[in-house]
Amino acid sequence: MQLNVRQRGDHVATFRWIEVRLMETLARWVPTTPETEVKLTLGSHIWDVAQHADSLGRRTHELRLPPQHSLEPSAAYVGLLGDVAASTQSDRRVAAFYDCMLAGLARRYRDYVARVDPLLDGPTLRIVEHILVDIARMKTEGQALRDEVPGVASTDAAWLEGLRRREAELADIVVGRPVEPVAVA
Amino acid sequence: MDSADIGTITVRGGVTLRAGPAREPCFRIVTDQADMARFPEGSPEHRREMLHGDVNEEVQSLEIAAQSLADFPDAPWDIRFHLARQCWDEVRHARAFLRRLIELGGRKGEFPIINQEWGVVCMFDSLVGRLAVQNRLFEGGSLDVFKEGVAAWTAWGDHVTAEIMDAVVADEVQHVRFANDWFERLRKEEPRALLKAIAAMDALRVRAAALTPPEMKMAHEIPINVEDRRDAGFAIE
């Protein structure tokens, strides 16, 4: 069944929450990442995820939510984001962001596209189309970084695989708003 | 390490600064302006040292904007959005200066670097204080410095670097302007919030006096960049 207006609002606000959290994660990593090129690439992607958050935040207002409204995803997904943010080694930061979180987020956006009516939710789909193009570019830039900086070229493959599996297992991360009780006269 | 765990250091004049952001081992980091390299003005070494310093200045500006995004999650979204854009701008500036440095035969780590702007600005515990010092004062000052830089590089016959400087100034105007616009909004809606900006400026005056080596007092006054300052929202008499 396709998502209704309320469900679409919940999804868009949840995506916004995630993009803001990714922005804050990159922002925390920038001063504590020593390699100049890694620092600069992460720093440039702060602006990309901020734009995603902003576009989604303008759309929330069109879906009966306040402008720039965010909804926290499931506790398990918040925990995953927290663990990723706590990474301290540059190679793990790069792999976690480009190979796990961005890749997983792109999959979630595509899943969303498949669950809405393209006419009724056209404005969200335009936003998501742009985001997916950005994510593809960001991943390309993340790979170029690995080609340029030997210190982040590879990471612990088992660790990354475990992180990816954990991300993929979190199927439904949208918690949404509690249902308001119907007033009885 | 989380950026919130970056501690403090004590430097010249007993001034306490935020400890430095992470740097590659190729860099020699100093904490006193007196330990920076000095070369005859206009010499190839002097020009590369200037560009090398510009790279680090832009990286620090990126780090300060990023740290402010991390430290103030409850700030108005439009201000956070501007800070995020500023991050990208500073990245582009750092890359442009680094590219030019390499074209002129230089390299990362060729000269000592100092992270004093980061150290000073990230001591302030309010976003208003940080923007007052970083965006209005330091970046406002850079409008004057870079304009003079455009003239200097042009006089040395290096129009490529002069063009980079000019493009950077155009971007910096936006960073000063969004801070000025926010302060104007606060002046009307929440004037008490500006007390933190005033306190930050007072603290800066004391620290700046203590941090500047006596032999390094400014040799000449940098002309005011009237046009860009006006465009950035400063009232010019």
Give the per-residue pLDDT at A177. 85
Q: What is the pTM of this model?
A: 0.95
Q: Taking residues A87-101, report their average pLDDT.
A: 97
Rounded CA separation A135/A102 (Å): 7
In degrees, rounded to 5, the angle at the alpha carbon of residue A116 between the alpha carbons of residues A115 and A122 is: 145
3-state DSSP of A114-170: HCCCCCCCHHHHHHHHHHHHHHHHHHHHHHHHHHHCHHHCCCCHHHHHHHHHHHHHC
User: Does the pLDDT of residue A185 top 70, yes or no?
Assistant: no
Give the start-to-end residue ranges of the domains of chain A. 5-169
Angle between helices B44-71 and B77-103 (to 10 degrees): 160
Interval B79-121: pLDDT, tens: 999 999 999 999 999 999 999 999 999 999 999 999 999 999 9
Give the amino acid at A143.
Answer: Q
d(Cα B172, Cα B92) in Å, to the nearest integer? Answer: 12
Give the pLDDT score at A147.
96
Would you say residue B201 has pLDDT above 90? yes
Six-digit token pair at B84? 């995020």
Q: What ipTM was predicted for this assembly?
A: 0.95
DSSP code per residue over A73-105: --HHHHHHHHHHHT--SHHHHHIIIIIIIHHHH
Residues 83-122 of A with CB under 8 A from B: 86, 88
Residues contacting A68, CB < 8 A, separation 6+: A16, A53, A54, A57, A58, A60, A61, B77
**How do strand B29-30 and strand B113-114 relate by DSSP bridges?**
parallel
Residue B63 near chain A (CB below 8 Å): yes
Please, which pLDDT band fits residue B5 given cuts at 50, 70 and 90? Answer: confident
Q: Using an 8 Å Cβ cutoff, are B87 and B97 in contact? A: no
> B214 pLDDT band (50/70/90 cuts)?
confident
Check residues A77 and B211 and name the one with the higher pLDDT.
A77
Per-residue buried b or exposed e for B136-160, using 16+ beta carbons within 10 Å of the residue's own CB: bbbbbbbbbbbbebbebbeebebee
pLDDT, residue B219, reads 64
From the CB of residue A23, how many other CB atoms can be counted at a distance below 10 Å? 27
Q: Are A48 and A127 spatial neighbours (Cβ–Cβ below 8 Å)?
A: no
Q: Do B70 and A50 touch (CB under 8 A)?
A: no
CB contact under 8 A, B87 and A28: no
User: Which of B21, B73, B85 lies at the smallest CB-CB distance from A31?
Assistant: B21
Looking at the predicted structure, is the pLDDT value of residue B237 above 70? no
Which residue, B33, B2, B60, is CA-closest to B218?
A: B33
Residue B122, pLDDT score: 96
With beta carbons under 8 A apart, name residues in chain A contacting B57: none
CA of A135 vs chain B CAs: smallest distance (Å):
16
Q: How far apart are CA A58 and CA A61, in angstroms?
A: 6
**Amino acid letter, B88:** W
Which residues fall within 8 angstroms of residue A83, CB to CB, at 6 or more apart?
Answer: A163
Would the CB atoms of B22 and A31 count as touching at under 8 Å? yes
Report chain A's mean pLDDT, rounded to a whole number.
96
pLDDT band at B212 (very low <50, low <70, confident <90, very high): confident
What is residue A180's three-state secondary structure? coil
Strand partners, B11: B15
At residue B18, φ and ψ (nearest 5 deg) are -65, 135
pLDDT tens by residue, B113-161: 999 999 999 999 999 999 999 999 999 989 999 999 999 999 999 999 9
What per-residue confidence (pLDDT) applies to B3? 74
d(CA B147, CA A17): 40
Structural domains in chain B plus CATH codes: 16-231 (1.20.1260.10)
Radius of gyration of chain A (CA): 17
Instruction: Give B-chain residues touching A93 at CB under 8 angstroms.
Output: none
Q: Which helix (H) or strand (E) holds B8?
A: strand B8-11
Q: Strand B15-18 to strand B8-11: parallel, antiparallel, or no bridges (unpaired)?
A: antiparallel
Hey, of B87, B99, B115, which one would you mutate to test binding to chain A, going by the most A CBs within 10 A of its CB? B87
CATH no. for A5-169: 1.20.1260.10
B188-199, pLDDT tens digit by residue?
Answer: 999 999 999 999
Distance in angstroms (rounded) separating the CA atoms of residues B184 and B188 = 7
pLDDT of residue A100: 97
Q: What are the tens digits of pLDDT across the range A107-155? A: 999 999 999 999 999 999 999 999 999 999 999 999 999 999 999 998 8
CA closest to B56 among chain A residues: A36
For chain B, what percent of residues have pLDDT higher than 70? 98
* pLDDT at B236 exceeding the cut of 90: no
What local confidence, expressed as pLDDT, does residue B2 receive?
73
Please report which confidence band the pLDDT of residue B217 belongs to, taking 50, 70 and 90 as the band edges.
low
Count Cβ neighbours within 10 Å for each residue of A62-92 and write b for 16 or more, e otherwise: ebebeebbbbebeeebbebbeebbebeebbb
